[in-house]
Copies of this chain bind each other. A is one copy, B any other.
Amino acid sequence: MAGEAVVTAPTRRERARAATVDEIKQTALALMRERATTDVRFADIARAMGLTAPALYRYFADRDELLTAMIVDGYDDLSDALADAAAAVGGDDLGALLMATAEAYRQWASQDQQRFALIFGLPVPGYAAPSEGPTHEAAKRAMGNLEALVLLAMSRGEAQAPLVSDIGPALAAECASNPPVGAARAIPHPTYQAMLHCWAMLHGFACLEAYGHLHAFSDEARDELFIAEVRLAARAMGLPAPDPA
């Protein structure tokens, strides 16, 4: 019976539906931010939208399904934020690119604590993340941004030897045979290792700051600290040290 009209333009109804789905996600996010929690009540979302709770089940089978959708959105948004930041620099200065990407990661985490927690934190109470699912995608994409930077540096001949050159056998084997990220094969292992170092530092800083564990410092001090840390990481990777943004 049905099965034909798949490629046609979205009908009026489909557009309305998509808008509602979006409104639900936005409302849920707003509630998360307001309550500083990733634990959203379906009933509250509905109330905030002037609906009754069961209505939402027309759009999401489950509370988990909503969360999954929001997590996927989060991936995309973070990816976009990083890409946009890099694009805004214009492709010239490698150090500036790194700094902009790092700063974008940091900003995103701080301004979107809830989504950051959704993506990188423990699974939300009831939510069981599909194992081997989108979680790995997030990690790969985040790393992918750094990776692109390093590849660019190598192709330009601006990359220098990373600070630590020894590397364990298991890590070397895995990077060569089954690289965790796309083009890892083309990156020298020590450099790859330094990239992971950079990511860990970046992620750690973002977590600590986003969750308020760095609030003993003023905003300015945190900014300075972050810049210095990115410069340090750049040095570890053998990339040119970025200027303070």
Interface residues of A (CB under 8 A from B): 36-39, 113-114, 117, 120-126, 128-129, 135-136, 138-140, 163-164, 166-171, 173-174, 180-181, 193-194, 196-197, 199-208, 211-218, 220-221, 223-225, 227-229, 231-232, 235-236
Chain B residue with Cβ nearest A209: B200
Known: A164-B231, A203-B207. 18 other contacts (CB 8 A): A37-B126, A38-B122, A39-B126, A121-B211, A135-B212, A135-B213, A139-B208, A164-B232, A164-B235, A166-B228, A168-B228, A170-B221, A171-B220, A171-B228, A193-B228, A197-B232, A200-B229, A204-B206
Q: Can you list 13 pairs linking A and B with CB atoms under 8 Å apart? A: A36-B128, A37-B125, A120-B208, A140-B216, A168-B220, A170-B224, A174-B217, A196-B225, A200-B205, A203-B207, A204-B205, A204-B207, A236-B236
| In the complex, chain B residues whose CB is within 8 Å of the CB of A139 | 208, 213-214, 216
Q: How far is the CB of A39 from chain B (nearest CB, A)?
A: 4
Please tell me how many copies of the chain the complex holds.
Answer: 2
| In the complex, chain B residues whose CB is within 8 Å of the CB of A125 | 37-39, 125
Query: By the criterion CB–CB under 8 Å, are B121 and A180 in contact?
Result: no
Query: By the criterion CB–CB under 8 Å, are B126 and A121 in contact?
Result: no
Query: By the criterion CB–CB under 8 Å, are A171 and B221 in contact?
Result: yes
Chain B residue with Cβ nearest A179: B216
Q: How far is the CB of A167 from chain B (nearest CB, A)?
A: 7
Chain B residue with Cβ nearest A116: B122
Q: How far is the CB of A37 from chain B (nearest CB, A)?
A: 5
